[in-house]
């Protein structure tokens, strides 16, 4: 187990090492006794069995000694636990929301929030050899070498959580759908993200660096594909980053205004839409739009993708309750939403020739 970079993770590592050694020593003693007796008291060497079958004194001793050992383990463990659960006096708070299958980070002390998606492309992941149970072929035959040269395979995201070093950061975890769990091994922070409830944890990371973890509660199909990446920066750099985000947000909103004032062509939207589709939609609805069974419906020829536009827009923006079809309105810009709806209506066998403008999306917010 790694020692990690925080005081808490290192104290946990010590407890782990101590308990491991206690187990090893007890194991050596007990298994050693068994090995000895197997050797020395086999019938060929020891043909007359003894006839004792109880001894109160010995039994009391080997009941009491384990109790003492356990008490010795429990005390430092309890102390460490008390310190871990002390979430007070944090200098900043981040709200972490798990959903299928990405994390959302919101800085409560600054107006910053964004989604954090897996950045490893499916070209590195999909390498089905036979399609009996597996419909994700390696179409270009390049998955294995690409994957093997990617040291952060499955542990990389588009936008990591950025934190300052040397400040106590409080984490609030919750979920939008099912139970997820946010874990950074280097911080020894793991808390389940429950829908409808918030959990707390904290970390104070002294060393800048990039720290990687994963979702640790089965949350559906892509449970293996929602990593946690934390980019810890020196305090001054972090403060600069916060400022940069503020500026970027202003720029983006300017960009968003420009996007919705423009009238886009079908070709422009199709190109953008295809990119959005393959990043966000293809994992369930498949690159060829054929979906998987009834759980992930086909879009090629579907009623929604070829029927009334408002229904299609509503489904993409607001999701479908009690299914894995999530609301994309908070996650994608007007332009991207308009593009992906346009794409779905004109790709594969769909030929509606419909064009959805970003301003239509904006009006539906």
Partner 1 sequence: MVAHAEHVPHRSGLAAFIARWTLTTNHKEIGSMYLWFAFTMFFIGGALAMGIRLELFMPGIQLIDPGFYNQFVTMHGLIMVFGAVMPAFVGLANWQIPLMIGAPDMALPRLNNFSFWILPFAFTMLLSSFFMDGGAPNFGWTFYAPLSTTYGPDSTDFFIFGVHMMGISSVLGAINIMVTIFNLRAPGMKLMEMPLFVWTWLITAFLLITAMPVLAGVVTMMLTDRHFGTSFFSADGGGDPLIFQHVFWFFGHPEVYIMILPGFGIASEIIPTFARKKLFGYNSMVYATASIAFLSYIVWGHHMFAVGMPLWVEMTFMICTMFIAVPTGVKVFNWTATMWRGAMTFETPMLFAIAFVVLFTIGGFSGLMLAIVPADFQYHDTYFVVAHFHYTLYPGAIFGTMAAVYYWLPKWSGHMYDERLGKIHFWTATIAVNLTFFPMHFSGLAGMPRRIVDYSLQFADFNMLSSIGAGLLGLTQLFFLYIVIKTIRGGKPATDKVWESAEGLEWTIPSPAPLHTFETPPAWPITDAREDQAARV
Partner 2 sequence: MPAKIKRLGFKPVQRMNRTTDNKIYRNAGLLGVLAIGMFGFAFGLVPLYEVFCEVTGINGKTAETAAKMVETTVDSGREVKVQFLGRVGNGMPWEFRPSTHEFDVTVGQANVTEFYARNRSAHTVIGQAVPSVSPGLAAEHLKKVECFCFVQQTLEAGEETYMPVKFYVSEDLPSDVQTITLSYTMFKVSQQEPTSSNEPHVSLVSTI
Contact 320, 326 (CB under 8 A): no
Distances (CA, A) of 327 to 23, 117, 318, 323, 356: 49, 15, 4, 11, 18
Sole binder of partner 2 in the list 57, 141, 196, 293 (CB under 8 A):
196
Phi, psi of 226 (to 5 degrees): -135, 75
Q: Which is nearer to partner 2, 137 or 291 (CB)?
A: 291
Restricting to residues 299-358, name those near partner 2 by CB under 8 A: 308, 310-311, 314, 318-322, 326-327
Sole binder of partner 2 in the list 198, 224, 256, 298 (CB under 8 A):
198
Token pair, residue 24, equals 């090893």
Give the N- to C-terminal CA distance of the chain in Å, as an integer.
47
Contact 359, 261 (CB under 8 A): yes
Interface with partner 2: number of residues (CB under 8 A): 34
Q: Which is nearer to partner 2, 93 or 352 (CB)?
A: 93
Sole binder of partner 2 in the list 83, 135, 139, 200 (CB under 8 A):
200
Restricting to residues 82-111, name those near partner 2 by CB under 8 A: 86-90, 93, 95, 97, 108-109
Measured at the alpha carbon of residue 321, what is the angle toward residues 221 and 154, in degrees to the nearest 5? 25
Tell me which of partner 1, partner 2, none is bound by residue 172, counting a contact when its beta carbon lies within the kind-specific cut-off of 5 to 8 angstroms. Answer: partner 2
The bridge status of strand 180-184 relative to strand 189-193 is antiparallel
Tell me which of partner 2, partner 1, none is bound by residue 326, counting a contact when its beta carbon lies within the kind-specific cut-off of 5 to 8 angstroms. Answer: partner 2
Tell me which of partner 1, partner 2, none is bound by residue 142, counting a contact when its beta carbon lies within the kind-specific cut-off of 5 to 8 angstroms. Answer: none
Query: At its nearest, how many Å lie between partner 2 and the CB of residue 176?
Result: 6
C-alpha–C-alpha distance, residues 229 and 152, integer Å: 10
Q: Which is nearer to partner 2, 233 or 312 (CB)?
A: 312
Tell me which of partner 1, partner 2, none is bound by residue 308, counting a contact when its beta carbon lies within the kind-specific cut-off of 5 to 8 angstroms. Answer: partner 2
DSSP 3-state assignment of 32? helix
C-alpha–C-alpha distance, residues 149 and 154, integer Å: 12
C-alpha–C-alpha distance, residues 341 and 352, integer Å: 11
Q: Which is nearer to partner 2, 127 or 326 (CB)?
A: 326
Restricting to residues 222-281, name those near partner 2 by CB under 8 A: none
C-alpha–C-alpha distance, residues 234 and 193, integer Å: 28
Report the interface residues with partner 2, using CB under 8 A.
86-90, 93, 95, 97, 108-109, 170, 172, 174, 176-177, 195-200, 308, 310-311, 314, 318-322, 326-327, 364-365
């Amino acid at each position: 187990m790694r020692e990690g970079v925080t005081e808490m993770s290192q104290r946990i590592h010590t407890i782990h090492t101590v308990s491991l050694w206690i187990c090893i020593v007890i194991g050596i003693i007990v298994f050693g006794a068994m090995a000895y007796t197997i050797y020395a008291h086999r019938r060929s060497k020891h043909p007359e069995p003894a006839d004792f079958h109880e001894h109160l004194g010995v039994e009391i001793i080997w009941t009491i000694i384990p109790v003492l050992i356990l008490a010795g383990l429990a005390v430092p463990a309890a102390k460490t636990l008390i310190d871990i659960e002390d979430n007070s006096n944090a200098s900043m708070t981040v709200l972490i929301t798990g959903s299928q299958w990405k994390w959302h980070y919101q800085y409560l002390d600054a107006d910053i929030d964004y989604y954090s998606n897996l950045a490893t492309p499916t070209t590195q992941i999909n390498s089905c050899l036979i399609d009996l149970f597996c419909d994700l072929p390696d179409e270009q035959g390049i998955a294995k070498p690409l994957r093997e040269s990617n040291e952060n395979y499955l542990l990389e995201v588009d936008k990591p959580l950025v934190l300052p070093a040397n400040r106590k950061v409080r984490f609030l975890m919750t979920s939008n759908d099912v139970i997820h769990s946010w874990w950074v091994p280097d911080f020894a922070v793991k808390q389940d993200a429950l829908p409808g409830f918030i959990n707390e944890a904290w970390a104070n990371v002294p060393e800048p660096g990039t720290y990687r973890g994963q979702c640790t509660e089965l949350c559906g199909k892509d449970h293996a594909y929602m990593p946690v990446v934390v980019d810890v920066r020196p305090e001054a750099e972090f403060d600069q980053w916060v400022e940069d985000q503020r500026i970027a947000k202003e720029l983006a909103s300017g960009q968003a205004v420009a996007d919705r004032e423009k009238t886009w062509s079908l070709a422009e939207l199709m190109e953008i839409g295809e990119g959005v589709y393959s990043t966000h939609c293809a994992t369930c609805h498949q690159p060829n739009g054929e979906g998987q069974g009834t759980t992930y419906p086909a879009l090629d020829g579907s009623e929604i993708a070829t029927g009334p536009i408002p229904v299609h827009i509503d489904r993409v923006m607001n999701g479908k309750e009690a299914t894995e079809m999530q609301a994309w309105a908070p996650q994608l810009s007007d332009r991207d939403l308009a593009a992906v709806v346009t794409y779905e209506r004109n790709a594969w066998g769909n030929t509606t020739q419909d064009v959805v403008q970003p301003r239509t999306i904006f009006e539906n917010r």
